[in-house]
Amino acid sequence: MTDALFQPVAIGPYRLPHRVAMAPLTRSRAGQPGDVPTAMNAHYYRQRASAALIITEATQISPQGQGYAWTPGIYNQDQVHAWRQVSTQVHEAGGLIFMQLWHVGRVSHPSFQPGNGLPVAPSALPVPGKTFIVDEQGQGVWSDVPVPRALTTEQIAEIVSDYRQAARNALAAGMDGVEIHAGNGYLLDQFINSNSNQRQDAYGGSIEHRARLLLEVVEAVVAEAGAERVGVRLTPMGRFMGMGDETPEATFGYIVQALNRWPLAYLHLVEPAVVGTVKDENFDPRWDAIIAQLRATWHGVLMLAGGYDPATANQAVASGRADLIAFGRPFLANPDLPRRIREGLALNTPDPSTFFGGDQRGYVDYPSHP
């Protein structure tokens, strides 16, 4: 039975017909040059418009914010125009779509950076991970990440402005709202976590200081879009790209309580079942206690993601653990996922070799159920 998943729920001004959302999924298929969505991308999202809410693939707010090959941007008018065809297609099919705003911070490569400079971060520390770049033959390859440069306070203020402009651009592109990506080891998460933030100024040290950038970004984006059209994604206990925090209960408890000052559309938490694209069997056992703590702290709608199947998703909603469940890879391979869940139909299996980069194969050719 999946009755709990198919009850309506409201987020901000929107009434969702059910609770099966589409998680943000980086697919590295933006059109070149210019990192612009194409007609194929618009078709991909239209196919999945039966989601209660689509959250777009992570979309960089500036050239500096890019860290992977062929990911889309939302910082110039060509990109705004191209994204408008995506939102139009989704709306024509009866869907709702929020854009995820992204700055990768240190998880980048000089080939993406203006002037081939170093990626930016709260602190100049080594990064235990790789990113996806274009080699001299035009092929996508995985590459080590260099030690980044630490941002100045003036440069931090510029990034806050970039988020605000990106939110304005997303709405101009016809998006119904935006999600601030503050997890998965990217820039805002790098400031939050004590592992990656060793600053001694107003943006480092205490929990309040490490949370400052996220809260400044939320304030700027809310001023542009309205709180009811803004969601925030966090990954408490996440370990991707070297993340880790000495006091996660206190750190994320403070952040979630601080987010309560705005009537946001939703809070989106990622459970530690997956690190990057790999299942994590060694996640911190404190997770359940932390999610219960954050659920009790948060005043609004809570979305969870991370390794859910139809049965566990329904149980999470029925038990009150979450109000919405975001599915990633199941939505990748099943454009009609809500129907399949509701009717108990078999699910297509995703092909990992087509996750990043490529053409329509493994992208828009997964069949819907007859």
Per-residue pLDDT of the chain (370 residues; tens, 9 = 90+): 679 999 999 999 999 999 999 999 999 999 999 999 999 999 999 999 999 999 999 999 999 999 999 999 999 999 999 999 999 999 999 999 999 999 999 999 999 999 999 999 999 999 999 999 999 899 889 999 999 999 999 999 999 999 999 999 999 999 999 999 999 999 999 999 999 999 999 999 999 999 999 999 999 999 999 999 999 999 998 888 989 999 999 999 999 999 999 999 999 999 875 444 445 566 667 788 899 999 999 999 999 999 899 999 999 999 999 999 999 999 999 999 999 999 999 999 999 999 999 999 999 999 999 8
**From residue 235, how far is each of 182, 256, 357, 363, 366 by CA, in Å?**
8, 12, 25, 26, 29
pTM: 0.96
Q: Where are the alpha helices (DSSP H) in 71-211?
A: 77-92, 153-172, 187-192, 207-210
Burial degree of 282 (CB within 10 A; 0-12, 13-18, 19+): exposed
Query: What pLDDT, on a 0 to 100 scale, did the predictor assign at position 275?
Result: 44
Query: What pLDDT, on a 0 to 100 scale, did the predictor assign at position 239?
Result: 85
Q: Note whether residue 223 is domain-resident.
A: yes
Q: Note whether residue 119 is domain-resident.
A: no
Backbone angles phi, psi at 202, to 5 degrees: -70, -10
Tokens of 242: 């070297």
Q: Note whether residue 112 is domain-resident.
A: no
Tell which residue, 50, 17, 27, 114, has the closest CA to residue 359: 27
**CA gap 103, 90 in Å, rounded:** 25
Q: Note whether residue 118 is domain-resident.
A: no
Q: Note whether residue 148 is domain-resident.
A: no
Query: What pLDDT, on a 0 to 100 scale, did the predictor assign at position 284?
Result: 66
- Name the residue range of residue 39's domain: 4-104+155-354
Query: What pLDDT, on a 0 to 100 scale, did the predictor assign at position 5?
Result: 97
Instruction: Count how many domains the chain has.
Output: 1
Output the domain CATH number for residue 164.
Answer: 3.20.20.70
Residues annotated as catalytic (active site), given as ranges? 186
Query: What pLDDT, on a 0 to 100 scale, did the predictor assign at position 286?
Result: 78
Q: Note whether residue 149 is domain-resident.
A: no
Q: Which amino acid is at 18?
A: H
* Tokens 């803004």 found at: 230
Q: Note whether residue 94 is domain-resident.
A: yes
Q: Note whether residue 133 is domain-resident.
A: no
Q: Which amino acid is at 304?
A: L
